[in-house]
Structure 1
Amino acid sequence: MPSLLQDLYQITQPPTFSPETSHRKFSFSMVESAYETLVPSFIGSLLKQAPDIQLDSYLWTGQSFNDLQHGQIDFGIAGRDLHPQSGFNVDKLPEGIEHQMLFKDQQVCLVRNDHPVLNTIKHSDWTLEHYLALSHVQVRCEGKEWWALDYFLADLGHHRKINATVPDFYGAASVCAHTDLIFTLPSSFASHALKLYPLTQLPLPFEFMPMAYVLLWHERNNQDKGHQWIRDTICQSTQQVVLPD
C-alpha cells in the first residue's frame, strides 16, 4: 500500500520543477558522519536555489532501505566499508534501489595527545601489533558492534579488544580524548574531531580497503524533476569536498 500511494503521489506531481518557487518537502536518512562530512557541502546550495523547500532528515538505521522502498523517505546517504562482509554491495541492493557513489574515504586512528603509544612509536614503527595491543572504542552502526574492519582482522586470525561501544562518533571521540582507548574512524570525520578534542591522528598501521559514502533513492523517482535536481546538486556539491591524503 505505501508503494501504491507513493506512485499515486508521483502522478500528481507537475512535470517540471522550479527550485525558486517550489514548496516541496524532501526527506533524507543519513549516517551520523554524513552530517559533518557531507551535509555542509550541499545544504547551502539547495536552500539558496530553492529557499522554500523543506528538508527533513533522520538517522540511517537498519530499516532505512525498507523506508526507501516504501516511499517513507526520499534519499539515503550511507557510509559503507567496501568489504564483502560489510552487508553492503552496490550490485546486490534491495529491489528498486538506485545509487550514486559520492566519494571514497580511508580509515584512520585517533588517540589522546599524551597517549603512551605516541612515545612508544617515536622509537619504533607503528605496527599492527601495537594497534592490537591497545584497547578500542567503537561506534555502534545500525545496531552492529562489528565493522568490516573487524571481519577483515578476524580473517587474519586477529581480534580487537573493544572496551567501549557508543552510539555516535562525537561520543567516541570524547571517550578517546579522555582515556587510553584508540578510535578508528573515517578520515573525513577525524578532521572535525581534531578541531574539538585534544587528539592526535595516526594512520591505520596496515593496508585496508576504503569506505564509500553513497547516495541512495528508489527507482520510482528516477524521472521526478525535483528528485533529479536534488541528486544533481548533491553530487556536484560533494565533488568539492576536500579529503586529507
Structure 2
Amino acid sequence: MNSIDIRLLSVFDEIYKTRSVSGAAEALELGQPAASVALSKLRHQFGDPLFVRTASGMEPTPFGEGLVRPVRAVLDALDVVLGHRDDFDPQSSERIFRICMTDISQLVLLRKLWEKLRVAAPAIRIEIFPLSKDTARMLQSGEADLALGLMPQLEAGFYQQLLFRQSFVCMLGADHPRITDQLSLQQYEAEDHVVISSSGSAPLIVDREITRQGIKRRIALQIPNFLGAAFVVEHTDLLITIPKRLGDVLQGRGAFRMLPVPFALPDYAVKQHWHERYHHDPGSRWLRGVISELLSDAA
C-alpha cells in the first residue's frame, strides 16, 4: 500500500464514531452514496470488511478496531498541520460540551458551572450523560469531552486530573426518633438503611468496607440515585451513608442532619478524565481548567 486518500480516513473515523454510514455522511456533509463508495474503497484497500452491520449499528471488525488509533493519529496530525485548531474564545464560542458524570457530581458542580458560564461563555451549551460502561468509548470517539468520577478501569490513552478527595457522612432526618447528636456503631447496625443501586463508585466502596469489617446493615430500601434517597430520609427514620460533598450541598435544603460514620471508611479520589486525542484541544483545555477551579479542594 503506497498511498491513501485522506478523505477516506475521515469517512472511516466518522463511521466508527456514529456507527452509521448515513451518520458519517451527514457529519462530513456528503451524500450517503459517496460515503458508501468511500467505505467500499477502504475495504478493497485493506482487504477487510472493516465494519459489519449489527442490530446496534455498524460495528468494527477486529482489524477495523485496530485501525482506529493510527487513523486518528493521522487525522489529528493533519489537523495541526493545516491549522484547523484555532484559538478558543469562550466569550464567542457556541460549542456544545458533553460531560459524563454521576448524579452526585451533577449536584456538586452544575450550579457553579452555570454561574461561571453565564458570564465567561454565554453561548456555550452543556450536555450531561451518566457514567456507564460506554463512557470510555464516548471519550475516545469525541462523543463526550470529559468524564468526572472514580474510573480506575480506564486504560492507556487517557489523561486524568485529581479534583478532590471525597469522604463519607451519615445522613438522617432532623427529627429522627432514636438518634440525637451522635451515632454509635451499635445504633448504625440497629437502624434501617437506604442504599444506592447505582451512581458511580461511592456505594461500592461503602458496601465493600461494610462486608470487609463484618458490620451488620439492615437494608430496607434500595433506590437508583442519591437525590431521591436523600428526600426519603428526610421524612422517615432511615439512615443513608453518603459522600460528604453531597451532604454539604444538601445541608440546609431539607430537614436533614449529617453525623460522622461510626466506623472507618477510606476516602477516594474524584478526577476528571479525557482522551489523549483532545489533550491539546483549546476548548477542552479551557473546560478542564474551569472545572478544576470550581471543584478543587482549594475552591
Q: TM range, normalised to the smaller chain?
A: 0.7 to 0.9
Say if 2:138 is the partner of 1:71. Answer: no
Please, which runs of 5 or more residues in structure 2 have no aligned partner?
1-15, 18-67
> Identity percentage over the alignment?
27
For residue 224 of structure 2, what is the aligned residue in structure 1?
167
Report runs of 4+ in structure 1 exceeding 4 Å deviation. Answer: 3-10, 142-146
For residue 110 of structure 2, what is the aligned residue in structure 1?
39
Which amino acid is 1:218 matched to?
Answer: H
Which amino acid is 1:94 matched to?
Answer: E
Say if 2:237 is the partner of 1:237. Answer: no
Distance 2:261 2:140 in 1: 36
Tell me which of 116, 119, 136 is aligned to 2:177. Answer: 116
For residue 223 of structure 1, what is the aligned residue in structure 2?
280
Distance 2:107 2:140 in 1: 26
Task: Note the alpha carbon deviations across 1:43-78, whole angstroms, 9 max, x for none.
Answer: 332342222222211222332223222322111112
Distance 2:162 2:94 in 1: 28
For residue 176 of structure 1, what is the aligned residue in structure 2?
233
For residue 168 of structure 2, what is the aligned residue in structure 1?
107
What TM-score do you get using the length of structure 1 for normalisation? 0.81
Which amino acid is 2:122 matched to?
Answer: P
Please, which runs of 5 or more residues in structure 1 have no aligned partner?
81-87
Task: Note the alpha carbon deviations across 1:16-57, whole angstroms, 9 max, x for none.
Answer: 222222222211111111122122233332342222222211
Which amino acid is 2:114 matched to?
Answer: I
Tell me which of 253, 262, 284 is aligned to 1:196. Answer: 253
Which amino acid is 1:139 matched to?
Answer: I
Which amino acid is 1:74 matched to?
Answer: D
Which amino acid is 2:198 matched to?
Answer: C
Distance 1:174 1:241 in 2: 29
CA drift at 1:156 = 1.8
Which amino acid is 2:166 matched to?
Answer: D
For residue 156 of structure 2, what is the aligned residue in structure 1?
95
**Number of equivalent positions:** 228
Say if 2:96 is the partner of 1:20. Answer: no
Distance 2:297 2:166 in 1: 14
**Computing the radius of gyration over CA atoms, which structure comes out larger, 1 or 2?**
2
List aligned pairs for 1:205-220, cutoff 5 A: 205-220=262-277
- Structure number with higher helix proportion: 2
Task: Note the alpha carbon deviations across 1:154-210, whole angstroms, 9 max, x for none.
Answer: 112234222111112221011111222101101211133332321221111122111
Q: Is the 8 A contact 1:20 1:51 kept in 2?
A: yes
Q: Is the 8 A contact 2:140 2:277 kept in 1?
A: no
CA drift at 1:13 = 4.1
Structure 1 vs Structure 2 CA RMSD? 2.7
Q: Is the 8 A contact 1:41 1:240 kept in 2?
A: no
List aligned pairs for 1:133-152, cutoff 5 A: 133-142=190-199, 147-152=204-209
